Amino acid sequence: MTMTAPLELDHDNYDHAGYVVLRDALSPSEVTRLRAETAKICRGDGGPVDGLEPAGPAESDEEAMRRYVAINFPHKISRAIRETMRHPTIVDALTRVIGPNVKAMQSMLYMKAEGKAGQAWHQDEHFIPTRDRSLTGVWIALDDAVVDNGCLWVLPGSHRPGVLYPDREHDDPRYDCAIEAYDFPYDEADSVPVELDAGSVLLFNGYLLHRSLPNTRRGSFRRALVNHYMSAESLLPWRGPIPDGEHIGKFDHRDVMLVAGRDPYAYKGTPDLVRTYLRRDRDGGCDR
């Protein structure tokens, strides 16, 4: 893995807006490696993925990737993705916004080809509860992410009240997941697009309201690797997507990976509970 100097991080702006962009956090060679890994996983050559149908010999990498929206927990089968979760530049930024002890609990690999829908307004903390509001998303652009191919939009400062807004099902065809946050005191006019060059990273607070819109650019992808982190000093009362395991992780989900510092709960172990699986699009439901 390429070693890079720590990037400047505007901590005051992160606290105020709820997000910060790390420009060129990954090198071009690192991005190329992750793009190749994405194609390999979508072909079924990277390891077992629940729900994925292996590509045939006549199917191109692009055809294989266009079949899917997202794959959850790819770090379970990919060394390249696990290494990226521990990327020195990313971990340096995480320790400055979370603290010295940081653990990861989730990875998601998005393909988002032309015509694929976005996700409605939501807060990640709603789905991954922490006890100390330390949840932090790391959104790594593997392609240039701009407005017409479905970059993220954020509502700056929406994390500051520390409120989890209610959610409901919706029928908006722009979005793949039938759930959206609502009844929050912000307007569409308050939102801003976060456009990123490939290799740049959006670091954002788990309470920040964000969404994405469809990819309307002809023939394009908007591939991204998205990881979630939190303080290792906090328990994680998250069941996670564990089949037949409602009780597992109810008080402290331990299928985690330490990326910085020490884990004060290491004595509990880190059981291998979660498997890599295909996230279904709107027609087949939406998994988180």
Segment among 141-150, 174-183, 191-200, 238-247 with least mean pLDDT:
238-247
% of the chain with per-residue pLDDT over 90: 85
| φ, ψ at 202 (rounded to 5°) | -105, 120
Is 4 within a domain? no
Is the predicted pLDDT of residue 168 greater than 90, yes or no?
A: yes
69 CB contacts (<8 Å, ≥6 apart)? 110, 111, 112, 116, 176, 279, 280, 281
Is 80 within a domain? yes
What six digits make up the tokens of 113? 């080809």
Is 182 within a domain? yes
Is 1 within a domain? no
pLDDT in tens, 61-102: 999 999 999 999 999 999 999 999 999 999 999 999 999 999
Is 150 within a domain? yes
Q: How many domains does the chain have?
A: 1
**Confidence class for position 284, pLDDT limits 50, 70, 90:** very low
Is 217 within a domain? yes
Is 264 within a domain? yes
DSSP summary character for residue 74: G
Is 125 within a domain? yes
Q: Which residue has the tokens 């997941």?
A: 177
- Quote the domain boundaries for residue 182: 11-284
- The CATH code of the domain that includes 20 is 2.60.120.620
pLDDT in tens, 23-72: 999 999 999 999 999 999 999 999 999 999 999 999 999 999 999 999 99
pLDDT in tens, 180-231: 999 999 999 999 999 999 999 999 999 999 999 999 999 999 999 999 999 9
Whole-structure pTM over 0.75, yes or no? yes
